Structure 1
């Protein structure tokens, strides 16, 4: 019984004696563990951040059709727009007592490949992303609502960086998704008055203007084409009624989230025109499920790297058995039984597994603390926790268990070495 108490110190002393060889293996296990945990953490946090591209919004309302198409176009500016919504319908729904705020969205124009979003001051007041983070102006100011800010534009961070724009720059918008001859609004240029701070969301790739501006640049257009011989100069647009006639979609925030399904049913039964109200989180989760293949592939590659690291541990221990024949034989001669020898080698594997898992966890925590702000600002990936979650603790336990299993073969091999074989020198 006394021999069992010395096995753990003996295993530690033996591993420390071979620290140069085992150290390289340990580094491989630490890196593999860190990568596996990082993929799991990023998988979870990227999914959460993806679902939080628009945060704090209870419903997205648009013309009846595909919920996925509505979310992709209104949130990510991808795909084609469905039918627009009448302005009167928007006003009626916004007046619902359960509705706290709304953000109208008008899409369809662009600037050098970047989408143009027509909205109003509620966008800067109520739009949230990530962990309900509000938009921030990095330079300049937001455009003014109404006639005072008709030809003012606020740029997303990526637009400003890629095109080299700063406040005061004059830009021209184009009709549709790209510049085509005769389909721009060159006679009504805009002035950049503000640049938003990076969000890591589609906001960074968007040019923001007022709803009145969208109406102003299309006063002399009809059916998506300029009217021949008609050109209303920018100085004259203030004489016209620039109240929007329709919008692409709008975001809705409620006083109480418990009312979301009631409001959704009300909008679905709206009699003036066919509308739909979708829960953005549900639709984004469905979209993520369709993209899960890449996530599973990354996780599989991480497990493969971990297996390669543990294979290195197995190879080192098997190769070391030849050098440790006399050590093991002396232990047998001093009274150690075969179970003692097996447990000794398993303890060495366990020590390496524990050290590798702990080192990987520490390395990942340090990397998360260092890279967390950068990921949130540039990629919109919010690291929700620096400490291991339930899934990561399961992975840590799996790493230790697999490390222990990796020691089974060397332990079995050592048990087969006979005492006489260990003490007899080979010629």
Structure 2
């Protein structure tokens, strides 16, 4: 215990150089843990986005591009597939369910997805978890919209509120469908997937918004918005609490509307998801779709395509880990440089310790303990910085990349990385300790010119 106290006081005595070394180690530990956590959580987030879906079918394109555009809302599908082809494939033997998907619209940077009631019945995420409603219910007709939890949270939306979607993905909007405002009837529970950042509407609503007479055709059962309000069609700007309450009360009657036509007569869709009665049908129907003559289509298996994606990104993962490992090594070498440079200045100190009875092994243990203390303190500070960075960057990763980062205890692998750093720091500290071991009393006390 006396040796540890002596090592700690020695570190305090050289606080300027030690603090610089400590901070360097902490930054390298933070970087290494952050890269590892984001890498693991990215894989987990992508894997949890879709579950229980046997095939994803879309126009002929790359497998990864089809997966990213249809499920993760990353990129854009080059073409759509005809509704006739969808109906034909849907009617094949062994098909248990299908979920049509139509993309291409957005609302304040959030994707708008058109589908039918099968979306809420059969879509699965995580460990085959179903979509649950935090408030409200599924849409019943073409004037209603169901929003994800992140949409409601970031835009402060509520049930009964009217919104207007626009043509174009992301923040790029080409045309606002002001003539077909939609009423929010449901808010989904958080899923940690792109569903949270999506507005869900019936296919019929997509058809009405993009039909040739969309500028004059209004959804049945609605009054013209110009008759009710003489204001800007962007209904989703901030209101005071009283106005919100009144506006919500006026639209709550729409929440109890009777089920109507959700599909209409679409000409094409972006893609569709498929589930089969038995895994036996998966490969058979996938082969038939890929050689489908009336239209060039692609059918992918989500799990297989995800593994292909990770295989492509494997080299990037290795480069990132190598980069963070090099940063850790540089920080440890910096500690070695600091200890070696201070060693010559400490010869008299070490000689005095020898003169009062310290043996060479005590000197060795003292120098090694200092390295271990510096490395341990650097790791602890690095872990603290790591959690701070995760807390600060969690929202950005979720909003920009759809990666949900969980604030949890360090995993066994992350603890192993810290253990490797501690062992490396101990070995690095042993180098100046070995040199100090061989310093003699006369070497330390003699005056050199």
Report the TM range for the smaller structure's normalisation. 0.7 to 0.9
What CA distance in whole angstroms lies between the structure 2 residues aligned with 1:158 and 1:384? 18
Structure 2 unpaired stretches of 5+: 223-259
Q: Partner of 1:123 in structure 2?
A: 119
CA offsets, 1:358-388, max 9 Å, x none?
Answer: x479758977998999799765425497443
Any idea what SS the aligned residue of 1:203 has? helix
C-alpha displacement at 1:104, in angstroms?
1.1
What CA distance in whole angstroms lies between the structure 2 residues aligned with 1:61 and 1:273? 12
C-alpha displacement at 1:209, in angstroms?
0.6
1:13-412 to structure 2, matched below 5 A, reads: 13-18=5-10, 20=12, 21=14, 24=19, 29=25, 32-96=28-92, 98-112=94-108, 114-130=110-126, 132-144=128-140, 149-177=141-169, 179-180=173-174, 184-218=176-210, 220-221=211-212, 226=213, 231-235=216-220, 242-255=264-277, 260-270=282-292, 273-287=295-309, 299=321, 302-303=324-325, 305-307=327-329, 309-311=331-333, 313-318=335-340, 319=342, 322-323=345-346, 325-328=348-351, 330-331=353-354, 336=359, 341-342=363-364, 345-346=367-368, 348-350=370-372, 352-353=374-375, 357=379, 359=380, 363=384, 380-381=403-404, 383=406, 386-390=409-413, 392=414, 394-412=416-434
CA offsets, 1:285-320, max 9 Å, x none?
Answer: 544566678756754564455345434533553326
C-alpha displacement at 1:105, in angstroms?
0.3
Residue range with higher mean Cα deviation, 240-249 or 270-279: 240-249
CA offsets, 1:7-53, max 9 Å, x none?
Answer: xx675354244353578456764564344223212222223323433
Change in Cα spacing, 1:82 to 1:304, as seen in structure 2 (3 Å) is: closer
Give the TM-score of the pair, scaled to structure 2. 0.71
Q: CA contact under 8 A between 2:50 and 2:124: conserved in structure 1?
A: yes
Any idea what SS the aligned residue of 2:113 has? strand
C-alpha displacement at 1:74, in angstroms?
1.1
C-alpha displacement at 1:61, in angstroms?
0.8
What CA distance in whole angstroms lies between the structure 2 residues aligned with 1:388 and 1:163? 35
C-alpha displacement at 1:410, in angstroms?
1.5
Change in Cα spacing, 1:121 to 1:372, as seen in structure 2 (3 Å) is: farther
Q: CA RMSD in A?
A: 4.4
C-alpha displacement at 1:321, in angstroms?
5.7
Structure 1 unpaired stretches of 5+: 1-8
Change in Cα spacing, 1:397 to 1:233, as seen in structure 2 (3 Å) is: closer
Q: CA contact under 8 A between 1:375 and 1:381: conserved in structure 2?
A: no
Q: CA contact under 8 A between 1:38 and 1:364: conserved in structure 2?
A: no
Give the TM-score of the pair, scaled to structure 1. 0.74
What CA distance in whole angstroms lies between the structure 1 residues aligned with 2:275 and 2:158? 32
CA offsets, 1:336-359, max 9 Å, x none?
Answer: 45x7754663455346546655x4
What CA distance in whole angstroms lies between the structure 1 residues aligned with 2:409 and 2:385? 8
Change in Cα spacing, 1:14 to 1:425, as seen in structure 2 (3 Å) is: farther
Any idea what SS the aligned residue of 2:418 has? helix
Tell me the number of residue pairs that the alignment of Structure 1 and Structure 2 aligns: 403
